[in-house]
Structure 1
Amino acid sequence: MMTSTLAQNVGTTYHNTDRTVTDLPAFFSSVRKFFSNACTYKLGAFPFGDPVLVNARILDIQHRQQCKFSQVRFFLERYPHFLTKDDKKKVEEEFITFQCDPLSPAVSEAERVDTAWHEVSKLKDTATGQPKYKALFKVAKSVLVMYHSNADCERIFSHVNKNKTEFRSSLSTKVLGSLMTRKMMMTASGDKWHSVNHSKDQLKKAKQCTMDNNNA
């Protein structure tokens, strides 16, 4: 599609210039070479063959029939703390049942994979009334919470950039770090850090600490 669009644009450009149609084959050859080199770079730079990513396909509920239990076993062997001994005995049976189970629309039509597995965790065994995929869900949940990007780091950098004021140069790295830690702790707890009212005694102590720090 992208190549087709480029072709249309180039055709218009060449029509409006003194270049000839014979120049187009060389251009298209360069375009193909560009995309080929881009794909080669991605294949070499990104961890497409990483075993964690390859075996994480078990999270894709839509393709559960194409998965193998060896992919689940990979995580059990790599992270043995995922399940207890009793759950490890049950997980293979649950996985086989899960592959054949006609899942409800709430599971199969969920837009997000974590939402789908949340719905799976709520499925009950009709005979016992207990969670149907208790052990399997524990594995899936553990894989879902693995860090898979540097989003958290980028978010912290964004917070730091917002502190670039005319007084920023007066803050040491230690002081800035303390302020950022306090700010993120309050944000995580749901407090509005920008509208907190401090007591006079607390402000007095803070001012004294600032003066002591500046005079040190």
Structure 2
Amino acid sequence: MNAFDLKYELSPTDAKELANVPSTLQLFPDVCEFEEGGDVEGYADSNNDYVDDWTLQRIGTLQYRLELLETRQYFGRSGLNSVAAHMIYGLANDVFGFNGWSTTILDCVFADFNEEPEKFSAKCTVKLRITLRSGATMEHYGTGEAVNLPHKYMCYSKCKKQAVTAATRNAILGLKELFYRYEKRELEEEAEEEAGEEAEEETEQEEASLKNVSIG
């Protein structure tokens, strides 16, 4: 299957050049293979909120270590924006394990293509899903851009690689949302349980009052 799900028709020449672009991008060994999601029709655009104890512990550890990076003076006020992507990948490997998470490209769209004599430019947007060993998922977008490259396939490859890197980084940083959603859901369930107990107590009190009235 071709690595690029383009939203416009390619000429035979363009298709031949595009065929030279690798369909799978591996940024580091033994961790994640970026595979085209293929037919994602019917896929719900939402993240899997299932969170078990392992996931909670790992996400908490990841967030703690990210905050340590963010507070280091080396990165100044820019926070995590100044942290290299490979450092964030390294944290994910340490926290989840090399085989504890994987990524899948759900969509890849090219736009703003510009072709001049021996100069090719384009932008790419990638939608990517991270799946943890527990089954929890997080989806995010990333964008990339290539400017004035000598070959069209090099242009496509560079901007896609940048987009995949950005989407992976954003998805890793977005895993904390699973933790926040879990806490919110727990608080809502506790509130509902307390409300139910209060309603039950009020009902019992009313029944007791009616019983006393009937006896009197």
TM-score, length of structure 2 as denominator length: 0.29
Higher relative contact order (CA 8 A, sep 6+): 2
Structure richer in helix, relative to its length: 1
Q: Which has the higher strand share?
A: 2
